Amino acid sequence: MTPRPALDAALAFVHAINHRNPDALAALMTEDHAFVDGLGARIEGRQRVKAAFEAYFRMVPDYMIAIDETFSEGSVVVMLGSAEGTYSADGTLRPENRWITPAAWRASIRDGLVAEWRVYADNEPIRQIMRR
């Protein structure tokens, strides 16, 4: 299999996120994949990151990211846009628990797979909802 170009790999990852598909995400990750959230917390390993996405999609069942701009150079792709969703402790989507925040993502691609997915976003909107 010919590795996909960096931008294609990053956009496929976005597509899998927006379809909340942990299996597709795992298929797009390197075995040593690293996820870094907006606070700098790091999760390493394909299976651990897949499990983290599964948990997040349960907490935010309609999570989506919108990409407005992309920049790609070599193996690095940077995307700017927004993240949004509805926090749900019990699977019910309540309008008052909906949030949206500007965000950016940096994907490092190796051999056509995402080696690192780094999120730059203010998590305060969802934290405020969770505290209620």
DSSP code of residue 55: H
Average pLDDT over residues 81-93: 93
1 domain-assigned: no
SS3 116: strand
Dihedral pair phi/psi, residue 16, rounded to 5°: -65, -40
For residue range 11-33, list pLDDT tens digits in order. Answer: 999 999 999 999 999 999 999 99
Give pLDDT, residue 61. 96
Structural domain including 42 reads 6-131
17 domain-assigned: yes
pLDDT beyond 90 at 2? no
Smallest CA-to-CA distance from 104 within 83, 84, 125 is with 83
Domain containing residue 34: CATH number: 3.10.450.50
pTM: 0.92
How far the first Cα of the chain sits from its last, in Å, is: 49
Structure confidence at residue 124 as a pLDDT band (50, 70, 90): confident
